[in-house]
Structure 1
Amino acid sequence: MNLQHFQRFQSIYASVLLCAYVLINNTVNATTQIMEAQREGALTFSMWEPFVWEYSSALSALLIFPILIWFLRHLPFNWQNITTSLGRYFGASIIFSVLHVGIMVGVRKFIYLLNDGSYNFGLSWFELIYEYQKDAISFVFFIVLIKVYQYVVQQLLGEASSIEESELQTTSTINRLLVKKLGKEFIIKIEDVDWLESSGNYVNLHIGSRIYPLRATLTALSKQLEVQGFCRIHRSHGVKLDKVESITPLPSGDSEIKLTTGKVLNLSRRYKEQFKLQLK
């Protein structure tokens, strides 16, 4: 249950951790600026200003973060064509910096305006280059952070992939899966799978008490595995027909399917006719 819960809400957990890190880091930066100014006896700003400076920068970075994730997903770094990838990522870092500075300055001007003040960013080529240097470091840091997080999650979940290294298409057949988990690799057979469960961006393959996450959709995987005796029975579940032990009709029009493992699943009215046809 912990695995399924984490799969379903891992984006939320990742967002909370990222926001917590940024909040703590920028709070420390703001308080450090105040302490250094007080120590030098040169406190030329109000106590709230460093927090506005730091939090506006943090808010800007957080707003851009989903765009960065999209960029990495659709344009991954190609080590076979390093020159093109470096140019592409350099351009992305410039866009990242422009967006970051633009949002950050806009937020600061708005907050200063609410406090009957004005904020002057001091726009100049020197300032833009200075900001880009900082943003370029943040750009690389965020990419490393995303990749490390994805690697750790993949190792903990033990993500499965087709041993034939074929894409999930309805015309291809999967017989065995390679599972990598905590530094180990082992093979599972599709024929041993009892039932399928949709969980976020994954489909959990249940074999007895063990769970193997496969990055796929239940719709695509169910169609792909029909020839191997699998059937969709619910918007979130699919079963291996050979594993069905009994079917119990319910007053609601749905049914309960009991597997040979003792697991009980719901057979939705929507999939009942399809289930009967495949069972025959």
Structure 2
Amino acid sequence: METTPVCDALERYRPWQRSTEVLFWLLLVGINCSGNALTSWMDASRGGSAALQPWEPWVWEFSSGLVWLLIVVPAVVWFTRRAPLHLDNWRHRLPWYVLASVPVSLVHVLAMFGLRTLAYRLLGDHYVIDSLPHELLYEYLKDARTYAFIVALIHGYRFLLRRLRGEVQLLAAPDEGPPLEPVERPERLLVRKLGRDFLVATQDIEWAQASGNYVNLHVRGHDYPLRITMAALETKLDPASFVRVHRSWIIHIAHLVSIEPLDGGEARLQMADGQQVPCSRRYLPQVRQQLSDGQRAALPG
């Protein structure tokens, strides 16, 4: 499988992906809060408001920003991973996204007011909320726009990564004539990446990990998402080569290096590429049995 500069860049980016994403949100929220605080102070100064303390706009904005960073954004990331929007499901899931904006805003506003109250007390002042229902509605109208922006940003980022890394598709049955290979248990998968198509043998899959509505297939150092459930994928892989080790993991038994028993009957599996895979107590006997069967099959007759 040939590599491209884009693939090489993505592989170099992968170890830094988590820290880069965290830094992005920190910068986005920090710059936005600083800009809003400055404009609020400038507007108050231009209007001749002497009652506004210089620190108040910073408390307002950064109390809001902290709640977005520490609570709301992680929750939205989790929610969008568990129920991602796609062209074939957006009509069903969009109402749930709209409904989720209500608790998102409620958590944001109440936590934000709590932080402001604490900050004002520490600074020797008192934070006053004139009308809680009015404030909740006012903040919801702002939060709904921010929430929609965050959802679009997360989905756009994931869509871009999938397109750059490549998405796997199952080979469909031809319109005419019998298929060249079994559709129920395909020998190859179609990978589409950067406008190009190429085939990957299923036997080249080293391990697979569930990720929301996708399963990431690890093939020769690359991860390719396939839109399928783990249960459906398990039925399409050769049971003599692949074994379910966890509700979120399937491994190719030939790439298993060692089994490290853990407390509670669970285990940690060391794969040939260095990946450590959890093995639950439920599936561990099956893994050991498959290893034993494989060793017996390898013995000379």
TM-score, reference length from structure 1? 0.67
Question: How many residues in Structure 1 have an aligned counterpart in Structure 2?
Answer: 245
Q: Is contact 2:167–2:192 with CA below 8 Å preserved after alignment?
A: yes
State the partner residue of 1:93: 101
Of 192, 196, 199, the match for 1:184: 196
State the partner residue of 2:266: none
In structure 2, distance between residues paired with 1:188 and 1:144:
31
Of 27, 36, 46, the match for 1:20: 27
- Identity percentage of aligned residues: 29
State the partner residue of 2:75: 67
Gapped regions of structure 1 (runs ≥ 5): 166-171, 242-246, 248-256, 258-263
State the partner residue of 1:125: 133
Is 1:276 the counterpart of 2:290? The answer is no
Following TM superposition, by how much is the alpha carbon of 1:200 offset from its aligned partner in structure 2, in angstroms? 9.6
Following TM superposition, by how much is the alpha carbon of 1:126 offset from its aligned partner in structure 2, in angstroms? 3.0
Q: Is contact 2:117–2:127 with CA below 8 Å preserved after alignment?
A: yes
Alignment of 1:137-156 (within 5 A): 137-156=145-164
Q: Cα gap change, 1:88/1:224 in structure 2, threshold over 3 Å: closer, same or farther?
A: closer
In structure 2, distance between residues paired with 1:100 and 1:35:
26
Of 87, 105, 115, the match for 2:123: 115
Q: Is contact 2:188–2:200 with CA below 8 Å preserved after alignment?
A: yes
State the partner residue of 2:219: 205
Is 1:30 the counterpart of 2:44? The answer is no
Following TM superposition, by how much is the alpha carbon of 1:103 offset from its aligned partner in structure 2, in angstroms? 0.8
In structure 1, distance between residues paired with 2:143 and 2:22:
20
Over the aligned positions, Cα root-mean-square deviation in angstroms equals 4.2
State which drifts further: 104-113 or 12-21.
12-21
Of 157, 161, 168, the match for 2:165: 157
In structure 2, distance between residues paired with 1:44 and 1:128:
24
SS of equivalent residue, structure 1 residue 187: strand
Following TM superposition, by how much is the alpha carbon of 1:181 offset from its aligned partner in structure 2, in angstroms? 1.8
State the partner residue of 2:206: 196
In structure 2, distance between residues paired with 1:214 and 1:79:
17
Q: Cα gap change, 1:94/1:184 in structure 2, threshold over 3 Å: closer, same or farther?
A: same
Q: Cα gap change, 1:118/1:163 in structure 2, threshold over 3 Å: closer, same or farther?
A: farther
